[in-house]
Amino acid sequence: MVKRIAVGIDIGSATTQCVASVVDRSSGTLSIIGTGAAESFGVRKGKIIDADAASKSVIAALRRAEKQAGLRIRSAAFSVGGVDLAALRARGLAAVSRPSGEISEHDARRAIESAQSNLEPLSNREILHSIPLVYTVDGGIKTMSPIGMTGAKIECEALFVTALQKDIRNLMRSAELAGIGITDIVAGPLAAGRAIVPRRYKEVGTLLVDIGASTVSLAVFEEGIPISLEVLPYGSANITHDLAIGFKMDLERAEELKQVFDARTMSAKKQLAEIVSARLSDIFDLTNKHLKKIERERLLPAGVVVTGGGSQLAELIDFTKDCLELPAQIGAVQDAVLPTGIASPQWATAVGLCLLSQDAAKGRPELGFELTHKAGNFIWRWIKSLLP
């Protein structure tokens, strides 16, 4: 039986996680054979600010995953996140190149490149993913797949997911110091969405809410692809800090108090309820603002899928339903077999990186876009920046 190894590493604000997986080539099943987690250092608001400190967290998580999996890990796909992760939309137009007027894959790519050229100057930013949202042929017919159609011109509206070049350099430096190669760099919310959001939800319309320690990542999916992305500067740790201040207690006790929060005891714990509700209201007010901006407020049939380490907060789903006026549920990993005792939501991003690597290897990207495989370009540009 021939197997393929896929590894994902997620450097979060609170925890760095490494997942090693085996893909059975005959069945296509992905099984998690090793997991490792370590406290994150050198990370703030989802961004690496100290590559040396972050590399030590990567090494600790890596060694634990290697020990459990019984193998040496030499390379992995990494996620990038943080409050400076952003998505931009643009339109581009290209003339059909064949005399017959038949639209080729080359024409479609030229339309995407035209859209990219119409973006405002990306000062200090790098494009991670280029996602075609819709093509228009000769100003009339709209389609997701124009290949094989005929026309004189093709227009593309595309979503470009970007990250700060500095954040990418810090990520690459951390990997280098940890002695591990980078196979790809993926926006964290898209990796989590690959692991946790069912395909049918992505088709009809859904919102992923990934609650991390210091950020909340949002990704809206429709017709099988991501159509928007946003990162909010709040997370579950903010609730812990508010409780520590409000009740004048240490952070460990505040974390325990947060986990047992129960709306049914609000009369007995009014102050607790007010603190937790106030912070969640901040998060979901900003979420609603984003949905309103993209004209999807209360208009996502599949509702909300919640994931991340902060998804275990008691009464969170009821609060989500009330605030967003949408159905909501805690997500569970799709298309992968996890070891006993591993909670799906907390490991979604790292598992999603493994699944995306599998998709790319099979030539069938599940998210509606191909992995950019820009890691080599990133590394080469970074090396050149160090040359005299």
Give the pLDDT confidence of 351-379 residue by residue, as tens digits.
Answer: 999 999 988 877 765 554 544 444 445 55
Question: Tokens 């799709």 belong to which residue?
Answer: 334
Question: Tokens 């901006």 belong to which residue?
Answer: 293
pLDDT per residue as tens digits for the range 265-319: 544 467 777 888 888 899 999 999 999 999 999 999 999 999 998 888 878 899 9
Do 190 and 292 lie in one domain? The reply is no
What's residue 313's pLDDT?
81
Top pLDDT among 3 and 99 is at 99
3-state secondary structure 325-337: CCCEEECCCCCEE
3-state secondary structure 87-145: EEEEEEEEECCCCCCECCHHHHHHHHHHHHHCCCCCCCEEEEEEEEEEEEECCCEEECC
CA–CA–CA angle 147, 122, 180 (5° rounding) = 85
Question: Chain-wide mean pLDDT for the chain?
Answer: 88
Q: Averaged over 308-334, what is the pLDDT?
A: 90
Do 235 and 184 lie in one domain? The reply is no
329 has a pLDDT exceeding 60: yes
What's residue 382's pLDDT?
46
| Largest separation between any pair of C-alpha atoms in the chain | 76
Do 76 and 95 lie in one domain? The reply is no
Do 295 and 318 lie in one domain? The reply is yes
What's residue 269's pLDDT?
61
Do 155 and 184 lie in one domain? The reply is no
225 has a pLDDT exceeding 70: yes
Contact call for residues 92 and 118 (beta carbons, < 8 A)? yes
Looking at residue 269, which CATH number applies to its domain? 3.30.420.40
Q: Averaged over 95-117, what is the pLDDT?
A: 94
In 3D, which of 6, 371, 322, 369 has the Cα closest to residue 202? 369
Position 189 confidence tier, pLDDT thresholds 50, 70, 90: very high
State which of 139, 162, 185 marks the end of a domain: 162
230 has a pLDDT exceeding 90: yes
State which of 314, 330, 346 marks the end of a domain: 330
Position 384 confidence tier, pLDDT thresholds 50, 70, 90: very low
Looking at residue 147, which CATH number applies to its domain? 3.30.1490.110
Q: Averaged over 156-175, what is the pLDDT?
A: 95
For 242, residues 6+ apart whose C-beta sits below 8 A from its C-beta are 275, 276, 278, 279
- Rounded Cα–Cα distance for residues 370 and 133 (Å): 13
- Rounded Cα–Cα distance for residues 367 and 386 (Å): 35
Identify residue 355 by its one-letter amino acid code.
L
User: Could you give the number of structural domains in the chain?
Assistant: 3
What's residue 365's pLDDT?
57
Do 361 and 275 lie in one domain? The reply is no
Instruction: Say how many residues make up the chain.
Output: 388
pLDDT per residue as tens digits for the range 111-159: 999 999 999 888 899 999 999 999 999 988 999 989 999 999 999 999 9
For residue 166 the two structure tokens come to 């500095």
Q: Averaged over 93-103, what is the pLDDT?
A: 94
Position 15 confidence tier, pLDDT thresholds 50, 70, 90: very high
Do 128 and 52 lie in one domain? The reply is no
Do 248 and 287 lie in one domain? The reply is yes
- Rounded Cα–Cα distance for residues 220 and 205 (Å): 7
Task: Please give the share of the chain, as a percent, with pLDDT higher than 70.
Answer: 90
- Give the count of alpha carbons within 13 A of 25, CB side only: 6
Structural domain of 110: 86-162
What's residue 25's pLDDT?
73
Do 172 and 302 lie in one domain? The reply is no
Do 126 and 247 lie in one domain? The reply is no
Do 251 and 115 lie in one domain? The reply is no
Do 309 and 340 lie in one domain? The reply is no
State which of 330, 354, 370 marks the end of a domain: 330
In 3D, which of 174, 2, 191, 181 has the Cα closest to residue 81? 191
